Structure 1
Amino acid sequence: MTEGRAATRRAFRFVRALVAAGTAVRDGEHYLVRRHKAAHGAGRQGSAPSAGRVPGLPVVDIRRLAADGVLELEADRCRPTDAARFWLKRQLAGDGDHAAQHRRTRSTPLAPKVNDLEGVLGRLARPSGRDATAFLSAHHLAAARHVAELVRQAQMLPRVTMSYDPARIRAPGSGGTLPFNPAESAGDASRKLQDCLGSLPPECAGVVLDVCGFHKGLQQVEFERQWPRRSAKLILRVGLGLVADHFGLSCETTPRSGARSRSWKDQGARAGFVRQ
């Protein structure tokens, strides 16, 4: 194991334990996770590791994670941010023995692990049927591009898929593009993504992130959740519609002036979403 992978693994174990415990305290040049006594027994049942199995993390690594928006520093303590769980999920999505050991996914030969986002959404955006209407509209695709770009900027994708270009996904003739900031930090992108997905129902947020962020196919999404056929695309369309509203996108894919982020609960949503 290289030094870089070893450092990443130490950081992963530390953040995972910190998410479970809530607080770490500085002790010299390291931060140590403070755990309640009840948590020690829980670690044996598959929860977060016990304190004895989680070494401290150097201050320099803590500051790097804080700069990425994963941790929040306060005096001699640090706490996980809302983006910490996304960071952990990104580590699990990466390649290597560590990811394979902890990943909780189901696989099937009929459901590929990764699907090109343009292929998934492109099929749904093509006119079909007697009335020649598309299942997804221009603002749905613009919302998907925005989520894909935030995931890329937040560095949640494995490096093997980092060459993906979200600008390729647009509705025919839609023209405009979203105003992405190339200088935006991973922490800023993680916070924006968390704010966006937090405004959606959990089922919608999960499908939008899996399809638009991690490029999973709809069949794989349905298989992993044990959903009925064709249910994932319905949830995806609802979710992308809410994402478009969150970012103030109209059907012409241009941001509306004065648009504000709104929660689906604030809009009185009453849709009957499929439970996992």
Structure 2
Amino acid sequence: MSEADGKGNADALARLLRFVLAAGEVRLVEGDALVAPDGRRQPLAPVVLAEAISLGLLRRGGARLSPLPEARVHLKRRLCDAQTPFAGQHRDMAAVTVLRDGVRERALANRLESPLANLARLKEKSGEAYLPEGAFAAGERLHADFTRGGLQPKMTMSWEPRIASRQKGEAGAGRDLTDTTLAARLRVARAIEAIGPELSGVALDVCCFMKGLEMVERERRWPARSAKLMLRAALLALARHYAPPAKTARHRHVWGAEGYRPDLSR
């Protein structure tokens, strides 16, 4: 797909979302048009509709389409991008895979503002990626939960041991937090616990505080290039936490007396 085709689809998707959000719910008629409750019509390209559904922006029930909460966020972000055309020269956008609720999804990331994305571009001598896709996706998910939980404005390096535990006098501190925020904080706490105290610090520094590896080494007084190894180990542990490997069936051993024959009918 050419750049012009991609931009055209993005514009068509924005028009579709704007129409559905304004109407609340629309009907799909003749497979290529939308009709709002007030009778307004809008043409529709099947490929744009398929993209909106695959991205989790619209819900389809038969011939009816309704917007999901992500639709308004997506449209708002699209409009902001359109209003700041000069910001594009400071971006290096690339398609990445992220984990959300255990499902891998495609998204766009600005590689110029993410130390983790810089690491994801490194290659082993064999040509394979230094940071496996699952590990990169785990780091992105940790960053998303960290941001969704509203932790960034308040957290510093001294906050690390307190993520998974509440301090004395903080019993009522969470009463004004939404369920979404509290759930995100709980996921961060569980992730940090899964990584372990030895590796969680570097994961927080890079994935959440967006610190470069050299800064991490300087602040923690680590040898050169050691942060890269520590971060990789942390993200591999985090990936196993988010997507545990399937358990293999354990073989049972049965001891029998002389002349014993196993029952093969089971």
**Larger Rg computed on CA atoms:** 2
TM-score surpassing 0.5? no
The TM tier, using the shorter chain, reads 0.3 to 0.5
Between 1 and 2, higher relative CO (CA 8 Å, sep ≥ 6) is seen in 1
Structure in which a larger fraction of residues adopt strand = 2
